[in-house]
Amino acid sequence: MSDPSILLEITDGYAAVTLNRPDRLNSFTPEMHAQLREALAAVSGRAEVRAVLLTGAGRAFCSGQDLSERRFGPDAPPPDLGASLDANFNPLVRALRTLPKPVVCAVNGTAAGAGANVALACDIVIAARSASFIQAFCKLGLLPDSGGTFFLPRLVGTARAAGLALLGERLPAEEAARVGLIWRCVDDAALVEESRGLARHLATQPTRGWPRSSAPCRPRRPTPWMRSSISSATCSASSGAPRTTGKA
């Protein structure tokens, strides 16, 4: 029996949720999405869980979609990436944004593509100094999906958001903290204790008021514009470069 793709631990009033495919840099598969949705749904309704901590196992936080599951080639049908967004990534981002508890994300390594934007969907992002954020979509002719076109300009402004989206350059965690993409960058050895300490602290706070106090920073219900921004791209591959159509 294979190891679960999602690990769930409830302790000290918070739920630690770990992406657990370290051999694939915690890239997402449909099964992993299903397990994560199940975990988030489980902790959402448990009164003893007052905060959530999301992190990754191994040397990466998440590298986005596992492309090895896709068939690319002259005889393969065009991949419908929009269907994957609608079925998996968009519901995940909305689940994180509407969870009635504060969500801390501990980025332990590379956060690339949709993995970067899943991290940004959390309320407080703390990253190891060796970690980095990469909007890798432009390398495939895509727009930043999984909320990227919504989160990036709001966090770092339109100029930096455009540079990150159009160039796909690696943004080190220390720089990400400096420009306001994330809350804090800490030494690698301190990440686990810092992030768990933060989750423990939040669990002791009056989290029943969290939906109201967090409203200015985290809309409880995505607006129509946010919904269209989360669903940013569909792709059709042909013998040439992939074609993309954006809703954002």
| Per-residue pLDDT tens digits for 46-85 | 999 999 999 999 999 999 998 876 666 677 777 677 777 8
Whether the Cβ atoms of residue 166 and residue 159 lie closer than 8 Å to each other: no
Strand 6-11 vs strand 14-19: parallel, antiparallel, or unpaired?
antiparallel
What pLDDT does residue 237 have?
Answer: 33
Nearest CA to 170 out of 181, 186, 154, 159 is that of 181
Residue-wise pLDDT for 139-193, tens only, equals 888 889 999 999 999 999 999 999 999 999 999 999 999 999 999 999 999 999 9
- The torsion angles phi and psi of 112, rounded to 5 degrees, stand at -120, 150
Whether the Cβ atoms of residue 230 and residue 224 lie closer than 8 Å to each other: no
What pLDDT does residue 223 have?
Answer: 47
Six-digit token string for 145: 């999906």
Please state, in angstroms and rounded to a whole number, the distance separating the CA atoms of residues 82 and 105: 26
Please state, in angstroms and rounded to a whole number, the distance separating the CA atoms of residues 236 and 246: 12
Which DSSP letter does residue 28 get?
A: B
